[in-house]
Structure 1
Amino acid sequence: MFKKILIANRGEIACRVAATARRLGIRTVAVYSDADAQAKHVRACDEAVHIGAPAPRESYLLAQRVLEAARATGAEAVHPGYGFLSENEGFARACAEAGIAFIGPPASAIAAMGSKAAAKALMEKAGVPLVPGYHGDRQEPDFLKAQADRIGYPVLIKASAGGGGKGMRLVASGEEFEAALASCKREAAASFGDDHVLVERYVTRPRHIEIQVFGDSLGGYVYLFERDCSVQRRHQKVLEEAPAPGMTPERRAEMGEAAVAAARAVGYVGAGTVEFIAEQDGRFYFMEMNTRLQVEHPVTEAITGHDLVEWQLRVAAGQPLPARQEQLRIHGHAIEARLCAENPEAQFLPATGRLRVFRTPAAAAEFQVAPVRIDAGVREGDEISPYYDSMIAKLIVWGEDRAQALARLDAALAETHIVGLHTNTAFLRRVVASRSFAGADLDTALIERERAVLFGQAGLPLQAALAGLAARLLGEEAGAETADPWSRRGGWRLHGVARRRLEVLDGSGQRHVAGLHYLHDGSHRLELGEDRRALLVRPLGPDRYDVTLGDERWQLAVYRHGETYAVFAPQGSASLQWVDPIAHAGEAGHDAGRLTAPMPGKLIALHVAPGQAVTKGQPLAVMEAMKMEHAIAAPADGVVDEVLYRVGDQLAEGAELLRLKAA
C-alpha cells in the first residue's frame, strides 16, 4: 500500500479521499489555488502545495504543476478525484512516465472511452445497443444538421469529450439547430478544450441508469450494481438512488454484464461508471463511460457496505479486488441529494456568497457509511466562489427500503440550514415529496413534468416566520438585560401596552406590517392585520425556539444577519427582511432600464449594439459562470442605449451590463 498520495482536486472529493487515506494510515498532500488557501480540503491533508491562480486553467488543470508538487513532496501516487484532470489521458500518461501511480485507469482506457464518439464505435463492435445517431469525425455544421434531419427531431447535441451536462443541447427542430450547435461547441471548448460533438435521437421519457464497475490489474472485474440518476436539471443530476426502482434481477444482471464487458474491452483498471439511457419498458442503450469515480458513489457504498475509495487505493497499489461478484449483495436503499448554491426559481442560476450559516443534521456522519451521511468540502463561513462547481455538499441517506430512505431524506433536508446565498434545499424537499418521485415514476423530464408543484411554492407561512422573527428579537432583548432597571426591555407602561412595529419584506419582495405587543403580565401578542394571537416563546438553545402562536406550535431555528432573518422549521423555511423606512427612504426607482449580471462570470457573447431595437425575450448577451453558459434576455421591448462591457470581460454579480430605453 502507498505511504503518501497527492490529491489533485478540491472540495468534498478531496476531503473524502483524505478521510479514507487517513483510516488506512496513508499520508496525504493537498494542492490549492489562491482562492483555496484556507479551504477545508487543505486542512484535511497532512501537507499542501500552492499551484496557481483561482481559475482552473491556471491551477487545477495544470498537469505539470500537479506532478511537480507530487515529486517535491515524495508522493507515490496521485488521486485525481472527479473533474479537472481525472479523465485526462495526457495526465495519466505523464504520471506513469514520472513513476507516479495514477489512481485510475490506464491512459489507453481513458483514450478509448474519453471520446463519446469513439466509445460508441467500440461498443457497437462489442454488440452493445446504441441510440440512433451520428458519432463520426465530420464536424461541418451543414453536415451535422443533415445528420440531425436524417435521425429525426428532437435530437441531442453532445460534446464528445463532455460530461456533467456541459456542452449538451436539446434541439426540437431544424430551425434551432445552427444556434444550438454553436453554443454547444463554445461550451465544450471552454470546459474540455475540445469542441467535437455528436448528434443522437432524443429518447422520449428516458431513464438514466448507470452501472458501477471495478477492475484490477490482475484481470478481475465486478459490477457493484446500478444507480438511477434520472432526476436532472439542465442535464445535470439532482438526486441519485440505488438500487434503481423497478429493476428486475434479470435486467440488473444483463446491464451489469454489459458494463463489465465494456470495461474488459479496454483493459480497464479501477473505478468506472458505464452509463445507459433506458426506455420505460426496460430496453437500454449505451450512453458513455466515465473513467473515474462518480459524484454519486456514496449511494453504492451505502447499499454494498464497501468503501470505493479504499478499493481504488488497493487496486492502484496492485492488489486484487476486495470482493468477487458472488460476494456482493444489495442491502436496503440509498438516496443522495446534491446541495447546490443556485436559485431554482431563476432557472437554476449559480449563486455565490458566504455561507453565513451551514448547519447539517446532528446525527449525520461525515464521509462514511451511515443512515445519514454528509460529504461537504466547505465549512460555515466559507465563500462559494464563481471559479468552481456550485455544489456545496452531498446529503446521503440509507433505509431498509425506499419508503424509509425517502422519509429520512426529507427529515435530513429539513435539518439542513444554509444562510447567505440561494440554495436548492427547499426545492429538493419538494422534489422528494412530488407524486412522481415518491411513486418512483422516474425519467429525465420529471422536474419539468412536476413544475406546478416544484416552482413558485410558498415556504413557511408568514405568521410562523413572523413568530420566529419576534422570538429572536425577544431572545436578544432578554440577553441584553442586566440588574440595572434601565436595561429592561419588557416595554412596561403605566397606561396601555408597548407595541413594536415590525415592517418586513418576504422572499417575494412583498411588504407586510405586524405588531408585537408587550402585555402587562409579561406575555406577548402578535398582530398581522385582523389576525391577533398570543405569542409564547421558550428558548431551546442557540438560535432555536419553541414557539406557540395561538393554537399553532412550531420548533424554529432563527438566524439573523443584519436586517435579514432566516427561519427554519420542519414544515419549511422563510426569509424576512426587517425594513427601516427611514434608512431605506429614496432607494426605489433607480433601476429602470438597467440590465445587470445575474451572477459573477465572464461575458462571452454580445448580440446587440447601441441604438439597436430589441423585443421582449430577445437574447442580448451570453455569460459563462461555473462552466455553464447563461443567456441574458431583454425584459421588455426597447432600444439599447449603452453597452458597458466588452466580450471577455469578467463581471461581478449585479454589475450593470447594458442600459435599455423605451422605443
Structure 2
Amino acid sequence: MFDKVLIANRGEIACRVALTCRRLGIRTVAVYSEADAHARHVDLCDEAWLIGPAPARESYLRGGRIIDVALHSGAQAIHPGYGFLSENAGFARACEEAGIVFIGPPAAAIEAMGSKSAAKAIMADAGVPLVPGYHGADQEESRLAAAADEIGYPVLIKASAGGGGKGMRRVDRPEDFARELAAARREASASFGDDRVLVEKYLLHPRHIEVQVFADGVGNAVHLFERDCSVQRRHQKVLEEAPAPGMTEARRNEMGQAAVRAAQAIGYVGAGTVEFIAEPDGRFYFMEMNTRLQVEHPVTEMITGEDLVEWQLRVAAGAPLPREQSALELQGHAFEARIYAEDPDNDFLPATGRIRHLRTPETGSDVRIDTGVREGDEVSVHYDPMIAKLVVWGDDRSAALRRLRHALTDFEVVGPTTNTAFLKALAAHPAFAAGEVETGFIEQHRDTLIPEREPASDRVLALACLAEFLRIDEEAADRAARSGDPYSPWHHTTGWVLNDDNHHTLHFRDDGRDVAVTAHYRPGHYLLELPGGETRARGTLGREDRIQADLDGVRLTASVVRDGPHLTILCDGHVHELVCHDPLTVGMEDEVREGSLTAPMPGTVISVTIAEGDTVTEGQALMVLEAMKMEYTIKATTDGVIEHVNFAEGEQVTEGAELLAIRAED
C-alpha cells in the first residue's frame, strides 16, 4: 500500500478521498488554487501545495505542475477524483512516465472510451447492445444532418469526448439541427478540447441505468450492481438511487454481465461505470463508459458495505479485488441527492455567493454527507456549484425515501440560491414514490416540482418578528452590561410609552408585496397583529441562528438568518425570504430599464450574433453566456431593434448586468 497519495482535485471528492486515506494510515497531499486557499480539502490533507490562479485551466488542469508537486512532496500515487484530469489519457501516461502511480485505469483504456464513437465500435464487437445512431469520423455538417434524417427525429447530438451533459443537445426538427450542432460543438470544445460529436436516436421515455464495475491487474472483474440515475436536469444527474426500482434479478444479471464484458474488452483496471439507456419494455443500450469513480458512487457503497476508494487504492497498489462476484451482496436501498447552488425557478442556472448559514442533519450508518464546503465559504463561478451530496439508506425503497425526506427537511443552506426545496418536492412526489422514473421526469412534473412561490404565512411572519425583537433585546442587554449603569431605564426595550399602548410596527417586503406586522408588548410575550389574525408569541434565541418559539401555545424550532435587512426563515422544511424595510423608500429602488436584457448568472460572453441597429424577432438568439461549463442563450423578448450591446465576446459579466437593450416595435 502507498505511504503518501496526492489528490489532484478539490471539493467534496477531494475530502472524500482524504478521509479514506486517513482511515488507512496514508498521508495525503492536497493541491489548491488561489481561490481555494481556505477550502475544506486543504485543511483535511496532511500538506497542501498552491498550483495556480482560480481558473481551472491555470490550476487543477495543469497536469505537469501537479506531477511536479507529487515528485517534490514524495507522493507515490495520484488520485484524480472525477472531472478535471480524471479521464485524461495524456495525464495518466505522464504519471507513468514520471514513476508515479495513476489511481485509475491504463491510459489505453481511457483512450478507448474517451471517444464515444470508438467506444461504441468496441462495444459492438463485445456484444453489448447499442442505441441506433451515427458514430462515424465524417464530421461535416451535411453528413451529420443526413444521419439525423436517416435516424428520424427527435435525435440527440452528443460530444464524442467527455460526458456530464456537456455538449449535448436534443433536436426535434431538421430546421433546428444546424443551430444546436453549433452549440453542442462549442460546449464540447470548451469542456473537452474536442468538438467532435455523434448523433443518436432520442428515446422518448428512457431510464438512465448505470452499472458499477471494478477490475484488477490480474484478470478479475466484477460488477457491484446498478444505479438508477434517471432524474436529471440539463442532462445532468440530480438524484440517484440503488438498486434501480423495478429491476428484476434476471435483468440485473444481464446488465451486470454486459458491463463486465465492456470492461474486459478494453483491458480495464480500477473503478468504472458502464452507462445504459433503458426502454420501458426492458431493452437496454450502451451509452458510454466513464473511466473513473462516479459522483454517485456512495449509493453503491451504502448497499454493498464496500469502500470503493479503498478498492481503488488497493488495486492501484497491485492487490487483487477484495471480493469475488459471488461474495458481493445487495442490501437495502439508498438515495443520493445532490444539493447544488442553483435556481430551479430559472432553468436550474448555477448560483454563486457566500454560504452564510449551513446546518446539516445528523450523520450515521443511515445518513451520510459528502461535502467540500463549510459555513462562510464562497461558491464561485470558477467551479462546479455542488454544495453537498446527501446519501441515505433504508431496509427498502420506502424506508430509504422516508429517511431522505426527513434529512432534506433538516438540511439548511442560506446564501446562494439552492435546489433544496426542489429536492424536497421531488422526494415527496407520488410518481417518484411509485418508482415511475425516467429521464424526462422533471419536465413531465415541472409544475408540481417547481410551483409558484406562496406568500409568507402568518407563522413565517411571526417567526421573523419574534427573531427581530429577541435580537433587539439581546443587543440592548449587551449594551446595558457594557455600560456604566446597567439598570438605566434607557436600556429597556419593552416599548413603554406614557398614556399609550406600547407597540411597534415592522414592515416587510415579501416577494413584491408589502406586509406590516404590529407587535404589542405584553408581560412575557408579544401580541402580533398578523394578516390572518392575532398571535401570542414568545421565545428564545439559540446558537447558529436557531430560535425556540411558542406561537399561541404551539412550540417549534426554526432558523432565522439575518443579513442586513434580509431575513431568511427556515421552518418545517420550508424556506422563505423577507426584507425588513422602511416604507418611505418603497418604489424608489433602481429598476431595470424597460427593453433591457440582463445576465441571469455571472459568466463569460462566448458569442454575440447581433449588432446595434439590427432588427430582431421575439425568441431570436442574441448572445450566449458560459459559466460553470454550461451555456445559456440570451433570446429576444420582443420584436424590435437593438439599441446597444454592452459586452463583446470574451468579456466577463456579473449577474444582473445589462447585456443589451431592444427598442420594441410599435
TM-score (norm: length of structure 2): 0.96
Alignment of 1:364 with 2:380, yes or no, is no
- Specify the SS of the correspondent of 1:131: coil
Q: How does 1:452-531 map to 2 (within 5 A)?
A: 452-458=447-453, 461-479=456-474, 480-481=476-477, 482=480, 483-506=487-510, 509-529=511-531, 531=533
Structure 2 CA distance for partners of 1:635 and 1:596, relative to 1, 3 Å: same
Q: How far off is 1:53 after superposition?
A: 1.8
**Structure 1 partner of 2:563:** 561
Structure 2 CA distance for partners of 1:554 and 1:520, relative to 1, 3 Å: closer
CA contact (8 A) 1:526 1:534 kept: yes
Bigger shift: residues 60-69 or 298-307: 60-69
> Hey, what's the Cα distance between the residues in 2 that align with 1:349 and 1:444?
19
Alignment of 1:169 with 2:169, yes or no, is yes
Bigger shift: residues 304-313 or 533-542: 533-542
CA contact (8 A) 1:419 1:566 kept: yes
**Structure 2 partner of 1:434:** 429
**Structure 1 partner of 2:484:** none
> Hey, what's the Cα distance between the residues in 2 that align with 1:313 and 1:460?
52
Q: How far off is 1:444 after superposition?
A: 0.3
CA contact (8 A) 2:11 2:373 kept: yes
The amino acid that maps onto 1:364 is T
C-alpha deviations, 1:316-359, integer Å up to 9, x for none?
Answer: 00011111111111111110000101100000111111111111
Q: How does 1:310-459 map to 2 (within 5 A)?
A: 310-361=310-361, 363-364=362-363, 370-458=365-453
> Hey, what's the Cα distance between the residues in 2 that align with 1:377 and 1:439?
33
**Structure 2 partner of 1:260:** 260
The amino acid that maps onto 2:296 is E
Alignment of 1:646 with 2:662, yes or no, is no
Q: How does 1:72-83 map to 2 (within 5 A)?
A: 72-83=72-83
**Structure 1 partner of 2:186:** 186
Q: How far off is 1:617 after superposition?
A: 2.8
The amino acid that maps onto 2:307 is D
Q: How does 1:210-289 map to 2 (within 5 A)?
A: 210-289=210-289
C-alpha deviations, 1:186-211, integer Å up to 9, x for none?
Answer: 00000000011000001121000000
Measured on the aligned residues, the alpha-carbon RMSD in Å equals 1.6
- Specify the SS of the correspondent of 1:323: coil
Alignment of 1:602 with 2:597, yes or no, is no
- Specify the SS of the correspondent of 1:204: coil
Alignment of 1:661 with 2:656, yes or no, is no
**Structure 1 partner of 2:68:** 68
Q: How far off is 1:56 after superposition?
A: 1.3
The amino acid that maps onto 2:289 is M
Q: How does 1:601-620 map to 2 (within 5 A)?
A: 601-620=603-622
Q: How far off is 1:656 after superposition?
A: 2.1
Q: How does 1:299-314 map to 2 (within 5 A)?
A: 299-314=299-314
The amino acid that maps onto 2:332 is G
Number of equivalent positions: 656
**Structure 2 partner of 1:141:** 141
Q: How far off is 1:459 after superposition?
A: 5.9
Q: How far off is 1:37 after superposition?
A: 1.4
Ranges in structure 1 where 5+ consecutive residues have no aligned partner: none
CA contact (8 A) 2:103 2:313 kept: yes
- Specify the SS of the correspondent of 1:659: strand
C-alpha deviations, 1:514-566, integer Å up to 9, x for none?
Answer: 22322343422222346333223354554222334447654311111111111
Q: How far off is 1:239 after superposition?
A: 0.2
TM-score (norm: length of structure 1): 0.96
CA contact (8 A) 2:524 2:538 kept: no
> Hey, what's the Cα distance between the residues in 2 that align with 1:458 and 1:590?
22
- Specify the SS of the correspondent of 1:519: strand
Q: How far off is 1:390 after superposition?
A: 1.3
- Specify the SS of the correspondent of 2:253: helix
**Structure 2 partner of 1:591:** 593
The amino acid that maps onto 2:327 is Q
Q: How far off is 1:457 after superposition?
A: 3.7
Q: How far off is 1:579 after superposition?
A: 1.5
Ranges in structure 2 where 5+ consecutive residues have no aligned partner: 481-486
CA contact (8 A) 2:458 2:531 kept: no
> Hey, what's the Cα distance between the residues in 1 that align with 2:544 and 2:315?
47
> Hey, what's the Cα distance between the residues in 1 that align with 2:528 and 2:617?
47
Structure 2 CA distance for partners of 1:527 and 1:639, relative to 1, 3 Å: farther
Structure 2 CA distance for partners of 1:107 and 1:177, relative to 1, 3 Å: same
**Structure 2 partner of 1:95:** 95
Bigger shift: residues 550-559 or 422-431: 550-559
**Structure 2 partner of 1:58:** 58
- Specify the SS of the correspondent of 2:274: strand
Q: How far off is 1:571 after superposition?
A: 4.3
> Hey, what's the Cα distance between the residues in 2 that align with 1:636 and 1:502?
40
> Hey, what's the Cα distance between the residues in 2 that align with 1:520 and 1:37?
51
> Hey, what's the Cα distance between the residues in 1 that align with 2:643 and 2:542?
56
Bigger shift: residues 488-497 or 107-116: 488-497
- Specify the SS of the correspondent of 1:42: helix
The amino acid that maps onto 2:450 is F
Q: How far off is 1:585 after superposition?
A: 6.2
The amino acid that maps onto 1:596 is T
Structure 2 CA distance for partners of 1:42 and 1:542, relative to 1, 3 Å: closer
**Structure 1 partner of 2:207:** 207
CA contact (8 A) 2:408 2:573 kept: no
- Specify the SS of the correspondent of 2:165: coil
- Specify the SS of the correspondent of 2:300: helix
Q: How far off is 1:295 after superposition?
A: 0.1
> Hey, what's the Cα distance between the residues in 1 that align with 2:149 and 2:182?
17
C-alpha deviations, 1:231-252, integer Å up to 9, x for none?
Answer: 0001000100001111111111
CA contact (8 A) 1:460 1:571 kept: no
CA contact (8 A) 1:505 1:579 kept: yes
